[in-house]
Amino acid sequence: MLLRHTTDKIVERHALTVNPAKTCQPIGAMYASLGIRGCIPHSHGSQGCYAYHRSTLTRHYKEPVIAATSSFTEGSSVFGGQANLIQAIDNLFTIYSPEVIAVHTTCLSETIGDDIPQIVKKAEAEGKIPKGKYIIHTNTPSYVGSHVTGFSNMTKSMVDYLSQGNGHKEKCINIIPGFVEPSDMEEIKRITSELGIKSIVFPDTSNVLNGPMTGKYKMFPKGGVTVEDLKKTGCSIGTLALGRLASGAAARALDTKCKVPCELLDLPIGLEATDTFIDTLRQVAGVHVPDSINIERGQLLDIICDMHQYFYGKKVGLVGDPDQLISLSKFLISIDMWPVHIVTGTPGKKFEKRIREITKDSPYKVNVKQSGDMFLFHQWIKNEPVDLLIGNTYVKYIARDEDIPFVRFGFPILDRVGHSFFPTVGYRGGMRLLEKILDALLDRKDRDSSETEFELVM
């Protein structure tokens, strides 16, 4: 047993987190920044944080993850990091010439209270920011929220710093895709253009963190939303924010700043959430849904009908981020599976309420917790076993110990590929998710059936 000390006896814990189901804000901010073309994310703090964040993102995406740091030492921690940040800005523009430097704080610089806008102003006054180049920033104290909060904060900063309205509206829709994979952002763009809609997707990590192998390294790949487009977001006719937690703040900021109205939707994971996404797109843009999309929808539905017997009544345990878990739970219920244990590490009471609503018809007692950890999740499973686990790579220890089929989904996935290339959003994404779930369930059935029962056709 790899988690041999986890027993079924649940005791209340108030102070100790064991096997967290979240991580800290800056990594989310770093990920969002990478979705701007020509951007270097910059971590204002000691170099350990950025090394950890880069390593984790690299392990997840298996792609270069570029970022810089202010490299605080003891002195900077006492006297403040102004000198470090100004030097970093100078070096970054001189050596790497990015279009944008996106600064986020760490718990260190937050605790000492460094005032980033003031430091940036000073850098500007000292001529350290070349003409036409930008510095944006966000505050990401890691003792508040989680990596999702960091993503949300940096995305909002893109609006705060760059979006501009000029009074007249372009026939264009902003889409904030949420903390999802590059492949998902790509799929969202594809669906939108399939509908004949012009869109600006931000942040956009497709072609940045799922780039090709060419024999040439480019520090700034072709992907990412351009600064030009970010500016134009203020002139779009509306904004769709996918995932309330990760995308809501930026959408609302855009409404306040440039009077671009917004609509907050669930992440388009699964049949119903995708239906809502496409229906909303259709209505706000006044377009018809093309047959190509209807075919995709029909294909997804077809798989659900064909394989329903294998989904029906199965109990599932889920660990992940709130936006993902909400849509995923809805999807599972729509195919008659029952999520029974649902944990997110990210704080937010609304999450529990939402999940309760979604699972209200469940024949089982549903365990749900925000600010929870995987130790508790595992204990729940020991008390009420499930047929399937869905979560990030760390869940594999539970899956092995308890011998439960497991589908990797969420962040981080450190031990498999595919997530950055093949989407799980949209109808096609739904098809892929179902394929994975079926593979896991049917492989188990194959493994467990007796020689007599072993079937060729399933």
Partner 1 sequence: MEEILSQDNSCLAPEELKQEILHKYPVKIARKRAKQIIINKVNDNDVPEIQANVRTIPGIISQRGCCYAGCKGVVLGPTRDIINLTHGPIGCGFYSWLTRRNQTMPKNEKDHNFMTYCFSTDMQEEQIIFGGEKKLKAAIQEAYDIFKPKAIAIFSTCPVGLIGDDVHSVAREMKAKLGINIFAFSCEGYKGVSQSAGHHIANNGIFTHVIGKDDTIREGDYKINLLGEYNIGGDAFEIERLFEKCGITLISTFSGNSSIDQFANAHTADLNLIMCHRSINYVGDMMEKKYGIPWLKINFIGAEATAKSLRKIAQYYGDEKLIDKVESVITEEMPFVEKAINEIKPKTSGKRAMLFVGGSRAHHYQELFKELGMGTISAGYEFAHRDDYEGRKVLPNIVVDADSRNIEELNILPDETRYRPRKNEETIEELKVHGVPIKDYEGMMPTMDENSMIIDDISQYETEKLIEFYKPDIFCAGIKEKYIVQKFGIPMKQLHSYDYGGPYAGFKGAVNFYKEIDRMVNSKVWKYLKAPWQIKTELVAKYVWE
* Distance (Å, whole) CA 68 – CA 95: 12
Q: Out of partner 1, ligand SF4, none, which partner does residue 222 contact, by CB within 5 to 8 A per kind?
A: none
Residue 292 binds what, of partner 1, ligand SF4, none (CB under 5 to 8 Å, by partner type)? none
Closest contact distance (angstroms) between CB of 444 and ligand SF4 is 37
Among 169, 143, 129, 168, residue whose Cα is nearest residue 42:
129
Binding to partner 1 (CB under 8 A) within 273-332 occurs at: none
In angstroms, rounded to a whole number, what is the distance separating the alpha carbons of residues 52 and 271?
36
CA dist 104 and 127 (Å) reads 21
Nearer to partner 1, 35 or 429 (CB): 35
Least gap, CB of 198 to partner 1 (angstroms): 32
Q: Which is nearer to partner 1, 331 or 406 (CB)?
A: 406
Identify which of residues 48 and 165 has a Cβ nearer to partner 1 in the complex: 48
| H helix runs in 130-221, sequence order | 147-162, 182-194
Q: How far is the CB of 45 from ligand SF4 (least distance, A)?
A: 6
Q: Is 349 in the site for partner 1 (CB under 8 A)?
A: no
Cβ within 8 Å of residue 372, ≥6 positions away: 21, 343, 344, 345
By CB under 8 A, the residues from 91 to 130 that bind partner 1 are 91-92, 94-96, 106-108, 110-112
Q: Which is nearer to ligand SF4, 137 or 341 (CB)?
A: 137
What is the Cα–Cα distance from 62 to 93, expressed in whole angstroms? Answer: 26
Total number of residues binding partner 1 (CB under 8 A)? 84
Site for ligand SF4 in 95-114 (CB under 6 A): 106-107
Among positive and negative, which fits the CA dihedral 256, 260, 261, 262?
negative
Which window, 74-82, 240-248, 274-282, 361-369, contacts partner 1 (CB under 8 A)?
A: 74-82
Cα–Cα distance measured from residue 203 to residue 157, given in angstroms and rounded to the nearest whole number: 11
Q: Is 324 in the site for ligand SF4 (CB under 6 A)?
A: no
DSSP secondary structure letters along 337-364:
-EEEEEE-SS--HHHHHHHHHHTTT-SS
213 binds, among partner 1, ligand SF4, none (CB under 5 to 8 A by kind): partner 1
Residue type at position 241: A
**What part of residues 203-232 is at the interface with partner 1 (CB under 8 A)?**
211, 213-218
- Residue 48 contacts partner 1 per CB under 8 A: yes
Part in contact with partner 1 (CB under 8 A); list of ranges 44-52, 183-191, 231-239, 443-451: 44-52
- Cα–Cα distance for residue pair 410/11, rounded to 1 Å: 28
Q: Which is nearer to ligand SF4, 3 or 107 (CB)?
A: 107
Site mask, ligand SF4, residues 62-81, x = CB under 6 A? --------------------
Encoding tokens for residue 126? 């000292």
Q: For 40-52, give the DSSP string.
A: EEEEES-HHHHHH
Q: Which amino acid is at 349?
A: K
Segment 407 to 426, residues that bind partner 1, using CB under 8 A: 414
Query: Residue 1 binds which entry of partner 1, ligand SF4, none, with Cβ cut-offs from 5 to 8 Å by kind?
Result: partner 1
Q: How far apart are CA 201 and CA 155, in angstroms?
A: 11
Task: List the structure tokens of 368.
Answer: 């749900």
Residues numbered 10-49 forming contacts with ligand SF4, rule: CB under 6 A? 24, 26, 49
Tell which residue, 357, 386, 356, 379, has the closest CA to residue 368.
Answer: 356
Q: Which two tokens stand for residue 267?
A: 């992440």
Question: Of ligand SF4, partner 1, none, which one sits near residue 231, judging by CB under 5 to 8 A according to partner kind?
Answer: none
